[in-house]
Chains A and B, each alone.
Chain A
Amino acid sequence: MKKEFAVTDNVKRFCAAVNGILQAPAGVDRMALIYGDPGLGKTETATWWVIHYGESAVYVRTKKLMSGRWLLEEVVAELGEQPAYRTSDLFRQAVDVLIGTNRVVILDEIDYLAYDARVIETIRDIHDITNSPFVFIGMAQADKKLKRYRHLWRRFSEVVRFDNLTREDTAAVIRQIAEVPVNDSAIEAIHGSGNLTVAMLYRWVQKMERIAKSRNLEQITADDLT
């Protein structure tokens, strides 16, 4: 199997959203929300994007028990600063480092913070003061949870929902990573097997390559998969 990151429709829309907030003209808020069911590759896509296109970006995975101070501490540490002791100093540190820069702050599992208005409003404060791009990544119902905060919701200039893979996505990913040719019938069979995630496709490709090797096949068809 080729060790390549599969660029699906979801990945393209993620990149478009992040580029959208990065290049937003003055006056346009720079917040994006990415959400969707588990297993669709949201975190993986964010990681891939940071490594390849956003070296200075900051990624923070939020936790269920996180308070505003804890979040600020993690953001400041990720920004490469020594976190201060007092919350007010932490806030100033985060603002000082982010202001005037284009450093993207990615907050994963944002649903965990959706019940704490103080934390959510603190993030909004930092965004408003620094005008730094913020990307929120959440689970399937993240949009509904965040809509309650009307002032925050208004600032999302990009909202992307990660969907299940389409047939075209399935075909593109398999052709991109498989080292043996795969017939259309096999792609149809894999796509028809249920709700597919990219991780499942990697496993399918591994399986197909094993079959092709053991049976000495030149091409994989649907019959070989049964």
Chain B
Amino acid sequence: MAQKQTQAILSFLSRRKRFYLDEAVKETGLDRRKALRVLEKLCGNGFLNLLADEHIPPRGSQTGPPRRNPRYEIVKDLGRRTPKRPECARDKIWRVFRYMRKVTRSDLARISGCSVSSAEQYTRHLEKHGYIRAAGKRGKEKIWLLVKDTGPKKPKIKEVI
């Protein structure tokens, strides 16, 4: 169902450069709240730019607070939305960190099925950027604790080679 809303909005956006929420609702026939949700997500992902956030007072028999009517502008090619790719080793390691919170590198390799070197390399990057911290030892291995959870998607870390 969510996909249909996104498709409807994308097809509307292929015809417009700048638009109001009202126009998107009128052309797509979507529920105002659902259309706004898709547009806010596209805005959050950097495809749209919020030009103005206007409010329309209730009309006729409408009740309640003024409705939001933001104006957007397309700033990035929507065709470049990346399709869902299969999870890489780092995605899997990040998942293990988020679900288990305290893990050793062996745990990461064992549960995610990645190589120990991948786990070592990624934990080094995550530690360097403050996402995880060593919190004691189990045997000879360090226990890593997740200290900054940025959500289901792994953090974007710039690597300097």
**Interface on A for B, CB 8 Å cutoff?**
1, 3-5, 43-44, 46-48, 50-52, 55, 59, 61, 77-78, 80-82, 84, 89, 93, 96-97, 99-100, 202-203, 206
CB pair A59 B99 closer than 8 Å: yes
CB pair A61 B1 closer than 8 Å: no
CB distance from B22 to the nearest CB of A (A): 20
Q: Which residues of A contact B139 (CB under 8 A)?
A: 203, 206
Given A93-B37, A203-B138, output 6 extra A-B contacts at Cβ < 8 Å: A3-B109, A46-B99, A47-B100, A51-B92, A51-B96, A82-B37
Q: Kindly state the separation between the CA atoms of A97 and B34 in the bound complex, as whole angstroms.
A: 12
CB pair B37 A84 closer than 8 Å: yes
Q: Kindly state the separation between the CA atoms of A3 and B110 in the bound complex, as whole angstroms.
A: 5
Q: What are 18 A-B interface contacts by the 8 Å CB criterion?
A: A3-B106, A5-B113, A46-B99, A47-B95, A47-B100, A51-B96, A51-B112, A55-B86, A59-B98, A61-B99, A81-B2, A82-B37, A82-B44, A96-B1, A97-B2, A99-B1, A100-B1, A206-B139
CB pair B100 A43 closer than 8 Å: yes
Q: Which residues of B contact A43 (CB under 8 A)?
A: 99-100
**Interface bracket on B:** 20 to 34
Q: Kindly state the separation between the CA atoms of A150 and B33 in the bound complex, as whole angstroms.
A: 36
CB pair A44 B44 closer than 8 Å: no
**Interface on B for A, CB 8 Å cutoff?**
1-2, 33-34, 37, 40-41, 44, 86-87, 92, 95-96, 98-100, 106-107, 109-113, 116, 138-139, 151-152
Q: Kindly state the separation between the CA atoms of A81 and B38 in the bound complex, as whole angstroms.
A: 9
Q: Which residues of B contact A203 (CB under 8 A)?
A: 138-139
Q: Which residues of A contact B107 (CB under 8 A)?
A: 44
Closest to A4 in B: B110
Q: Which residues of B contact A61 (CB under 8 A)?
A: 99
Among A4, A55, A82, A100, point to the contact of B87 (Cβ < 8 A): A55
CB pair B2 A47 closer than 8 Å: no
CB pair A44 B1 closer than 8 Å: no
Q: Which residues of B contact A46 (CB under 8 A)?
A: 99
CB pair A44 B2 closer than 8 Å: no
In the A-B complex, the 10 residue pairs with the closest CB atoms: A3-B109, A47-B99, A3-B110, A51-B92, A48-B111, A5-B110, A96-B1, A59-B99, A96-B2, A97-B2
